[in-house]
């Protein structure tokens, strides 16, 4: 048995060992803690400092002002206006439903709109502002501001909204802006601007074509926030770079006038072009729409009504409408024949009112016939029989080749989205597309701009410009400049057509308007030095049967609107030194000489009068005008139509 002394010594040794072990554990723990602190504060110090700052500081993008779009003279056609926006913070409002009811007593707010706002409030954080209404008027802002003490959580914010002062007159040129959809967000390649609430991008027209230049560069602001994301204060702010200004070749006064003039018809389009530079001075499609309604958010009811309208107000007919060119194609047929040497200017054909090919009869528009015609007279009177014979000699392939040289059957690559190519048929095309051989009768039909032939109003304007500018391959364009990024091209190569042949075709087009009996003589310009030349066209949209011819072809006015002929005219002025050209198509309008030629005359006259600084010359009609549009002066009278005047 151990003595008391030995027992005390043993207990002392045990206590010492335990103390050493405990001390070792404590030392290890302290060492681990020191090592961890060293790792966190020294090794990872910068990282955690950054994370802490990120939790404290919220970096937000500031959308830049969208660039302006102006006409060739600097007149704004698309700009930014103040947008007064009403917002609501639900945590300050108490009962949002009651607050919305109070707001509805001050400004219009239908029940469906209130339900939408309540859904947005439920999806948002309590401290985040929710947009209640945008585009408030001054009167609505005043009504809210006066009652703000009784509207907790409600405030008025000032932003920007896109504005189009020319409204419907320039809608198809400018397009419009709209909210970013999911596909556009996915295609945006990570551009954070696209994720900004309320940010809008170009959806159509010039707004879409130059969207990246018009957007500008985003700014940013640093905000101090608390743990739940509530803003405490603004730390810094850096404004973005505004979008670039886009200058168009458009003359806004002329654009407005042309749209008014087309507004007298049910459905029509027109293009006015500088024949030497290719600059588009006016490009109009009627009926149209108000792009301001799209910028502010179009209602589903209005959208559906636009979609269902049979006159297609959303379609830019000037670049996307494809029509049989009718007799406006005869210049190409004549030029192809002259260039190929198969006929000369004095080649004559007798027109009895029809043309026989095999066992088929092809009719001239003039039932009794024109008699003996040379090319000059055939162009002047628009004799179908003459061009039937010429086309049979020259062949469809050579006609098609000449048509393409003058801009038909292919996109012009104008700086607008949505352009369609038209169609110039030939033998290879039919074999490739329809898997069928070409028939001789189809050549005759193509020679008068019917059958498979299709062209847009823009292509017909390009064709006319190349005919009258000495045979240069001018390309149409709308963009004159994008600040320091782009300047328009105005010099173009020659097509390579014999000048004497071009001059002969032009003299024939002069006869259409300036010589008695010409199909547009009734619509000639009588102002000395401002005279126009041109060519009428009337294209059928239905097949006239032999039975109907036997009993009498029904007049256009007796047919349903959809079955009436299209009216066309291409022209230029002044005759002695062409500078402007125009193409006009009136859908289901009837005869080109009767319907389309007077419109073209008024437009070409307006071009020249505006250039001379004499101001507008006529009140074109009922289409809506911008508030700043000048008053119209009396019209310059055109010669009255003689009895029995041709209208082809």
Tell me: the pLDDT tens digits for 539-559?
887 676 666 555 666 777 768
d(CA 606, CA 254): 7
Cα–Cα distance list, 47 to 44, 53, 58, 59, 565 (Å): 5, 10, 17, 18, 75
Polymer length of the chain: 648
Token representation of residue 315: 């379609």
d(CA 138, CA 609): 40
Catalytic residue among 90, 269, 288, 327: 327
pLDDT of 623 > 50? The answer is no
Q: 159: which strand partners?
A: 83
- The pLDDT value given to residue 626: 45
Q: What is the pLDDT of residue 625?
A: 42
Q: What is the pLDDT of residue 640?
A: 37
Average pLDDT, integer, range 393-410: 97
Could you report the per-residue pLDDT of 58-88, keeping only the tens digit for each? 566 677 889 999 999 999 999 998 888 888 8
Is pLDDT larger for residue 436 or for residue 185? 436
Question: What pLDDT, on a 0 to 100 scale, did the predictor assign at position 642?
Answer: 35
390 pLDDT more than 70: yes
Decide which of 473 and 561 is more confident: 473
CATH architecture of 262-283+316-610: 3-Layer(aba) Sandwich (3.40)
| Backbone φ, ψ for residue 262 (5° rounding) | -70, -25
Task: Spell out where 71-197 has E strands.
Answer: 76-89, 129-133, 154-163, 176-179
pLDDT, averaged across the chain: 85
For the cut 80, the answer to whether the pLDDT of residue 223 exceeds it is: no
Residues 392-397 have a mean pLDDT of 97
Least confident among 11-15, 55-59, 119-123, 470-474: 55-59
Residues 539 and 326 sit within 8 Å (Cβ to Cβ):
yes
Q: What is the mean pLDDT of residues 587-593?
A: 93
pLDDT of 227 above 60: no
Which of 153-167, 231-245, 436-450 shows the lowest per-residue confidence on average (mean pLDDT)? 231-245
Calculate mean pLDDT across residues 188-197: 68
Residues 6+ apart with CB under 8 A from 310: 562
| Mean pLDDT within 35-57 | 61
In this structure, of 240-254, 509-523, 553-567, the range with the lowest mean pLDDT score is 553-567
Catalytic residue at 252?
no
Instruction: With beta carbons less than 8 A apart as the criterion, state whether 441 and 357 touch.
Output: yes
- pLDDT band of residue 583 (cuts 50, 70, 90) is very high
Section 339-345 average pLDDT: 95
Band of the pLDDT at 232, cuts 50, 70, 90?
low
**pLDDT classification of 529: cutoffs 50, 70, 90:** very high
Packed helices 440-447 and 396-405: angle between N→C axes, nearest 10 degrees: 30
What's the sign of the alpha-carbon dihedral 599, 601, 606, 611?
Answer: positive
Contact 364, 370 (CB under 8 A): yes
Token pair of 506 as six digits: 């032009």
Q: How far apart are CA 443 and CA 646, in angstroms?
A: 25
Q: What is the pLDDT of residue 628?
A: 41
Mean pLDDT value across residues 619-634: 41
State mean pLDDT over 309-337: 96
Residue 422 has pLDDT above 70, yes or no: yes
Contact between 603 and 617 (Cβ < 8 Å): no
Token pair listed for 71: 């006409």
pLDDT at res. 499: 96
Torsion on CA atoms 386, 392, 393, 398, rounded to nearest 10: 110
At residue 195 the predicted structure's pLDDT band, cuts being 50, 70 and 90, is: low
pLDDT tens digit sequence for 14-24 = 777 777 777 77
In the predicted model, what is the mean pLDDT of residues 614-632? 44
- Please give the Cα distance from 113 to 52 (Å, whole number): 41
DSSP string, 339-367: HHTSS-TT--EEESSEEEETTEEEE-SST
pLDDT for the residue 34: 76
pLDDT tens digits along 554-575:
777 768 777 889 999 999 999 9
Per-residue model confidence (pLDDT) at position 188: 67
The CA distance from 179 to 134, in Å, is: 14
Determine which helix (DSSP H) or strand (DSSP E) holds 433, and give its type and residue range.
Answer: helix 427-433
Residue 592, pLDDT above cutoff 70: yes
Distance CA 242, CA 68 (A): 9
Every domain of the chain with CATH number 3.90.1310.10 lies at: 60-248
Which residue carries 């109070």 as its tokens?
102
Which range has the top average pLDDT, 256-260, 491-495, 537-541? Answer: 256-260
Alpha helices (runs of H) in 483-640, residue ranges in sequence order: 499-514, 546-551, 597-611
Could you give the residue range(s) of every CATH 3.40.710.10 domain in the chain? 262-283+316-610
Q: For residue 320, which of 454, 482, 227 has the smallest C-alpha distance?
A: 454
Number of Cβ atoms within 10 Å of the Cβ of 290? 17
Average pLDDT over residues 179-187: 77
Lowest mean pLDDT across 147-156, 259-268, 356-365, 429-438: 147-156
Q: What are the residues whose beta carbons fall under 8 Å from the beta carbon of 6, sequence distance 6 or more?
A: none
Q: What's the CATH code, domain 60-248?
A: 3.90.1310.10
Greater pLDDT, 128 or 275:
275
Highest mean pLDDT range out of 109-113, 223-227, 584-588? Answer: 584-588
User: Is the pLDDT confidence value at 394 over 70?
Assistant: yes
Q: How far apart are CA 49 and CA 41, in angstroms?
A: 9
pTM: 0.81
Whole-angstrom distance, CA of residue 569 vs CA of residue 136: 46
Q: pLDDT band for 630, please (50, 70, 90 cuts).
A: very low
Give the Cα separation of 418 and 209 in Å (integer). Answer: 11
Cα-trace Rg, the chain: 36
């Amino acid at each position: 048995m151990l003595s008391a002394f030995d027992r005390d010594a043993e207990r002392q040794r045990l206590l010492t060992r335990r103390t050493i072990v405990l001390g070792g554990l404590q030392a290890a723990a302290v060492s681990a803690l020191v090592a961890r602190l060293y790792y966190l504060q020294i090794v990872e110090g910068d990282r955690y400092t950054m994370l802490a700052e990120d939790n404290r500081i919220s970096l937000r993008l500031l959308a830049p002002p969208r660039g302006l779009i102006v006409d060739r003279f600097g007149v704004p056609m698309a700009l930014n206006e103040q947008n007064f926006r009403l917002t609501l913070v639900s945590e300050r409002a108490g009962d949002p439903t009651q607050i919305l009811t109070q707001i509805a007593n001050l400004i219009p707010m239908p029940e469906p709109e209130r339900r939408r706002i309540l859904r947005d409030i439920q999806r948002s954080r309590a401290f985040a502002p929710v947009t209640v209404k945008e585009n408030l008027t001054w009167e609505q802002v005043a009504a809210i501001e006066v009652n703000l003490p009784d509207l907790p959580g409600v405030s008025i914010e000032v932003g920007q909204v896109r504005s189009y002062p020319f409204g419907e007159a320039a809608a198809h040129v400018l397009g419009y802006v709209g909210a970013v959809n999911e596909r556009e967000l996915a295609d945006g390649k990570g551009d954070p601007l696209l994720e900004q609430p309320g940010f809008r991008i170009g959806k159509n027209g010039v707004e879409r074509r130059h969207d990246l230049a018009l957007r500008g560069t985003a700014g940013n602001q640093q905000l101090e926030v608390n743990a739940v994301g509530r803003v405490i204060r603004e730390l810094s702010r850096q404004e973005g770079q505004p979008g670039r200004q886009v200058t168009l070749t458009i003359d806004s006064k002329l654009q407005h006038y042309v749209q008014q003039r087309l507004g007298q018809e049910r459905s029509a389009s027109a293009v006015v072009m500088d024949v030497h530079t290719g600059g588009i001075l006016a490009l109009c499609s009627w009926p149209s729409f108000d792009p301001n309604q799209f910028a502010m958010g179009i209602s589903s009811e209005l959208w559906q009504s636009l979609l269902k309208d049979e006159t297609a107000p959303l379609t830019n007919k000037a670049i996307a409408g494809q029509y049989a060119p009718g007799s406006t194609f005869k210049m190409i047929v004549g030029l192809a024949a002259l260039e190929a040497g198969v006929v000369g200017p004095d080649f004559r054909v007798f027109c009895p009112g029809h043309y026989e090919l095999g066992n088929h009869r092809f009719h001239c528009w003039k039932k009794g016939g024109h008699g003996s015609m040379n090319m000059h007279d055939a162009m002047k009177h628009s004799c179908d029989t003459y061009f039937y014979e010429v086309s049979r000699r020259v062949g469809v392939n050579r006609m098609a080749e000449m048509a393409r040289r003058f801009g038909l059957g292919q996109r012009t690559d104008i700086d607008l989205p949505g352009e369609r190519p038209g169609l110039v048929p030939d033998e290879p095309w039919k074999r490739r597309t329809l898997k069928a051989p070409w028939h001789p009768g189809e050549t005759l039909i193509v020679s008068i701009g019917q059958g498979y032939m299709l062209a847009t109003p823009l292509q017909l304007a390009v064709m006319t410009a190349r005919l009258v500018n000495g045979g240069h391959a001018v390309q149409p364009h709308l963009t004159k400049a994008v600040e320091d990024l782009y300047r328009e091209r105005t010099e173009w190569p020659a097509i390579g057509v014999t000048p004497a042949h071009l001059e002969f075709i032009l003299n024939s087009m002069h006869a259409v308007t300036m010589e008695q009996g010409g199909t547009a003589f009734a619509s000639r310009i009588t102002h000395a030095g401002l005279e126009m030349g041109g060519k009428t066209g009337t294209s059928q949209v239905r097949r006239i049967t032999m039975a109907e011819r036997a009993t009498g072809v029904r007049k256009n006015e007796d047919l349903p609107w959809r079955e009436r002929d299209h009216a066309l005219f291409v022209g230029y002025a002044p005759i002695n030194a062409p500078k402007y050209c125009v193409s006009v198509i009136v859908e289901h309008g009837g005869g080109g000489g009767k319907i389309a030629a007077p419109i073209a005359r008024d437009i070409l006259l307006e071009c020249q009068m505006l250039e001379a600084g004499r101001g507008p010359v006529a009140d074109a009609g009922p289409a809506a005008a911008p508030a700043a549009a000048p008053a119209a002066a009396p019209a310059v009278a055109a010669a009255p139509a003689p009895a029995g005047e041709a209208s082809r």
